[in-house]
Amino acid sequence: MATMVRAMTPDDFSWVIALNQQHVPAVSDAEGDRFTYLFERSAIALTAWVDDAPAGFSLTMTHGLDYDSSNYKWFSESYDQFIYLDRVVVDESFHRHGVGRALYAETERLGLIEVPDAEVFGLEVNVEPRNDVSLAFHERLGFTELLQRPTPYGIVVAMMGKPLMPQA
């Protein structure tokens, strides 16, 4: 299987939003104008393709934004310079084929260009209710828990981070 990662464009919105909505509440709801709001704030918006079939996407932001997410605000209050992965989803047909890993490798490569002095590559994972697959994935990719915090939307998340370093 050949995996390719490309920049997301508005032409991708319909399948990306459908995939996002299939995975609520692992990721938050983002339809219509809300998705456009997120996309416009994402310095690194990627899609992944396996043998030319749409397979996944990710949205990543940098510090200094006007963004209403309490999780993003926590990173803003904790770090001066960072990249923040707002969401990642891989289609279930392609799980465990390295698609998520490919999206993160490209995010890190571009993140170092966008924010060369980033203190952290940050994100959150649900722990109540617990997203064991995402925790295993992120631990495998080198993320560690910074702390756990309750959110205004009623769940508990683990704030996770890793240093943003060039890939070997």
Ligand X SMILES: CC(C)(COP(=O)(O)OP(=O)(O)OC[C@H]1O[C@@H](n2cnc3c(N)ncnc32)[C@H](O)[C@@H]1OP(=O)(O)O)[C@@H](O)C(=O)NCCC(=O)NCCS
Contact residues for ligand X, defined by CB under 6 A? 23, 26-27, 88-90, 95-101, 125, 131, 133-134, 136-137, 140
Residue nearer to ligand X on the CB measure, 97 or 162? 97
Residue nearer to ligand X on the CB measure, 79 or 98? 98
- Phi and psi torsions of 137, nearest 5°: -60, -50
Residue nearer to ligand X on the CB measure, 58 or 118? 58
- Phi and psi torsions of 128, nearest 5°: -140, 100
Q: What's the first-to-final CA gap in the chain, in angstroms?
A: 23
Sign (positive or negative) of CA dihedral 94, 95, 98, 99: positive
Shortest reach from residue 165's CB to ligand X, in Å: 18
Count Cβ atoms within 10 A of the Cβ of residue 155 and give its class: 0-12 exposed, 13-18 middle, 19 or more buried: middle
Shortest reach from residue 121's CB to ligand X, in Å: 13
Shortest reach from residue 100's CB to ligand X, in Å: 3
Residue 25 to residue 99: CA distance in whole angstroms:
21
Residue with smallest beta-carbon separation from ligand X: 100
Residue 46 to residue 42: CA distance in whole angstroms:
9
Shortest reach from residue 117's CB to ligand X, in Å: 25
Shortest reach from residue 66's CB to ligand X, in Å: 23
Residue nearer to ligand X on the CB measure, 1 or 7? 1
Contact criterion met (CB below 8 Å) for 56 and 103: yes
Residue nearer to ligand X on the CB measure, 38 or 125? 125
